[in-house]
Amino acid sequence: MARAKRQELVETALELFHREGFHATGIDRILATAGVAKMTLYHHFRSKDELILAALRLRDERFRNEFMRSIERKSDDPEQRLLAIFDVLAELFGSGESGGCPFINACAEYADPDSAIHRAAAEHKRMVLDYVCELATLAGARDAVCLARQLCILLDGVIVTAQVSGNADSARLARQVAVLIVREQLGSG
């Protein structure tokens, strides 16, 4: 397979960027870990920034895919799926994952909203929002956009709280809040 080394490179980069940060992770470290020559990297990517973008793209695909699949496995009912967001989150943190969100981290290191990396992160969040918005619409929310945005604020809050304070059960607390706002938007108990 031709693209094997490229893939290895992006996977390794994603993991190291996630664990150590973007600026703190040098090209040489990625190369040594992936077992790839430097010229191979610059054959596939013009710069480190493009490797970062590729890593974020991979993460975006994987995360959204698994996120949606996990939610949809929890229930068939759209209303329950809105709440399942936080059950999935709880499971994620329960299984060790607590290094925060790579996209939030990316915006921390690349603060300029016009930078390609920051924009990629913003786009990821927008796509997650769009998905939650679909669920909210299917659930018959009065204002699906508003509800989805509120749930996403909770979602990001949970991720950050888990990362900063190591608080795994914040997903459970957020779920309680989600119950209230979903119930209110759907007009009944």
User: What residue ranges bind DNA (CB under 7 A)?
Assistant: 2-6, 25-29, 35-40, 42-44, 47-49
In a 13 Å sphere around the CA of 181, the CA atoms on its Cβ side amount to 20
Q: Which partner, a second copy, DNA, none, binds residue 26 by CB below 5 to 8 Å per kind?
A: DNA
Query: Smallest Cα–Cα separation from 57: which of 129, 6, 4, 113?
Result: 6
Residues 169-188 that bind a second copy (CB under 8 A): 170, 173-174, 176-177, 180-181, 184
Q: Given candidates 6, 84, 110, 139, which one binds a second copy under the rule CB under 8 A? A: 110
Shortest spacing between CB 163 and a second copy, in angstroms: 6
Shortest spacing between CB 4 and DNA, in angstroms: 5
Q: Which residues 6+ apart lie within 8 Å of 72 measured at CB?
A: 81
What's the sign of the alpha-carbon dihedral 159, 69, 136, 129?
Answer: positive
Q: Given candidates 68, 104, 138, 168, which one binds a second copy under the rule CB under 8 A? A: 104
Q: Tell me if 95 contacts a second copy by CB under 8 A.
A: no
Shortest spacing between CB 43 and a second copy, in angstroms: 27
Shortest spacing between CB 144 and a second copy, in angstroms: 13
Q: CA 63: distance to chain centroid?
A: 6
Instruction: Classify burial at 131, counting beta carbons within 10 Å of its beta carbon; exposed 0-12, middle 13-18, buried 19 or more.
Output: middle
| Site mask for a second copy (CB under 8 A), range 17-46, x = bound | --xxx-xx----------------------
Q: Which partner, a second copy, DNA, none, binds residue 100 by CB below 5 to 8 Å per kind?
A: a second copy
Residue 140 or 166 with smaller CB distance to a second copy: 166
